[in-house]
Amino acid sequence: MPATPLRIALTLDDAPSVAGRADVAPGDPSRMDRILEVLQRGQVRDCAAFVIGRMAAGEERRLARWLEAGYALGNHTFGHANADRVEPEEFLRDVERCDALLDSIGAFAQGRPRLFRYPYLRRPGHPERRRWLEDRIETLGYRIVPAGLDTFDYQFEVPLGRSVARQDAARIARVEVRFLTAATRALVGDARALEAHERRSVRHVAFAHFGIVADRCLDRLVDRLRAAGATFVPLAEALEDPIYLRYRVEEAANGRVAGALVPRSLAGRIRRWAVGQSMRLGLFAQREYGPLRPHLAE
Ligand SMILES: [Zn+2]
């Protein structure tokens, strides 16, 4: 098919900061301010930040600055639990607790939408529990926001955090380039695979996190994606794509729409297996510098 421009809505999870690991890449809420600057400088005018209530305590001013700059805040629960591992009633209380916090800082004022994203993109596996929970979340006024395209930034948090902690410039550069190469390849590859499967241009939702990787690399990732033909579109516009209605009813789908909806060809499965084997052989480099093909590593 002809290469149409990729239309991507960018979203960021775990605002104001991923919890991180104290020994390698501790959480750092000031990332949210730097990332806001990157978005503004890079003219990415729409980006929803999904807030972990527990990480936001005391950071209300920072969250308010994000809103004042015209960007959206969404609900990512208070404690970041896996919805497939806790009781739906307990999970719902966690959503409501984050809702109260967001409401108190005016996140939904002036007609701003209520956006919700599952931690780890995990929905309850049991269909009845899932339906019960999603009905309640939607009754609260939320739109459940899936993510079609993964940057896999979380797989580089430890390698990059460790390199920064050691102040090893060569190592930092190596991890960053690996991330940028892998993320661009994964995003563009998954987007094109989904479009080939749908036989049309799709409006995509991509996600990354408020971690050390986005803090250091988001500006360059935006540049690389633009160089690969991407334009950044508002989330509301992307969510009108029919693919996300299918996500709503899809029984087995997890949050990553492209991975869930595109059936893999036999050739693709063999290639995936072969790459997986070679990655296991190169385990040391994968652990130290991050995976080269993270989308195949799962
Ligand atoms: Zn999260």
- Kindly give the distance from the C-alpha atom of residue 120 to the centroid of ligand 1, in angstroms, as a whole number: 5
For residues 88 and 132, is the Cβ–Cβ distance under 8 A? yes
In this predicted model, which residue has the larger pLDDT, 298 or 165?
165
pLDDT value for 1: 45
- Kindly give the distance from the C-alpha atom of residue 200 to the centroid of ligand 1, in angstroms, as a whole number: 30
- Kindly give the distance from the C-alpha atom of residue 2 to the centroid of ligand 1, in angstroms, as a whole number: 35
pLDDT value for 33: 98
The 10 Å CB-count burial string (b at 16+, else e) for 207-226 is bbbbbbbbbbbbbbbbebbb
For residue 42, give the 3-state DSSP assignment: coil
Strands 25-26 and 142-144: unpaired
110 and 170 co-located in one domain: yes
Residues 123-133 pLDDT 10s: 998 889 999 99
How far apart (Å, rounded) are the C-alpha atoms in residues 150 and 224?
Answer: 15
**Whole-structure pTM value:** 0.91
Residue ranges making up the domain that contains 31: 6-262
| Segment 224-230 mean pLDDT | 95
> For 241, what's the count of Cα atoms within 13 Å in the CB-facing half-sphere?
26
How far apart (Å, rounded) are the C-alpha atoms in residues 194 and 186?
Answer: 12
- Kindly give the distance from the C-alpha atom of residue 83 to the centroid of ligand 1, in angstroms, as a whole number: 12
Residues 194-205 pLDDT 10s: 888 889 999 999
185 and 212 co-located in one domain: yes
- Kindly give the distance from the C-alpha atom of residue 3 to the centroid of ligand 1, in angstroms, as a whole number: 32
Burial class (CB in 10 A: 0-12, 13-18, 19+), 152: buried
Q: Any idea how long the chain is?
A: 298
| Segment 154-158 mean pLDDT | 93
159 and 281 co-located in one domain: no
- Kindly give the distance from the C-alpha atom of residue 84 to the centroid of ligand 1, in angstroms, as a whole number: 14
54 and 201 co-located in one domain: yes
Report the domain count for the chain. 2
- Kindly give the distance from the C-alpha atom of residue 80 to the centroid of ligand 1, in angstroms, as a whole number: 6
63 and 17 co-located in one domain: yes
H or E element in which residue 68 lies: helix 60-68
Residue 166 lies in a domain: yes
Q: Give the CATH number, domain containing residue 94.
A: 3.20.20.370
Residue 257 pLDDT > 80: no
- Kindly give the distance from the C-alpha atom of residue 82 to the centroid of ligand 1, in angstroms, as a whole number: 9
Residue 1 lies in a domain: no
- Kindly give the distance from the C-alpha atom of residue 20 to the centroid of ligand 1, in angstroms, as a whole number: 11
| % of the chain residues with pLDDT over 90 | 67
- Kindly give the distance from the C-alpha atom of residue 76 to the centroid of ligand 1, in angstroms, as a whole number: 7
Residue 120 lies in a domain: yes
47 and 146 co-located in one domain: yes
- Kindly give the distance from the C-alpha atom of residue 153 to the centroid of ligand 1, in angstroms, as a whole number: 12
pLDDT value for 298: 45
For the chain, give the mean pLDDT.
89
100 and 22 co-located in one domain: yes
The beta-carbon contacts of 90-98 under 8 Å, at least 24 apart in sequence, are 91/124, 91/133, 92/133, 92/136, 92/137, 94/53, 95/137, 95/140, 95/142, 96/140, 97/53, 98/51, 98/52, 98/53
Residues 27-54 pLDDT 10s: 999 999 999 999 999 999 999 999 999 9
What's at 101, amino acid-wise?
Answer: L
158 and 293 co-located in one domain: no
| % of the chain residues with pLDDT over 70 | 87
- Kindly give the distance from the C-alpha atom of residue 199 to the centroid of ligand 1, in angstroms, as a whole number: 31
**Rg of the chain, C-alpha, whole Å:** 19
Residue 176 lies in a domain: yes
15 and 53 co-located in one domain: yes
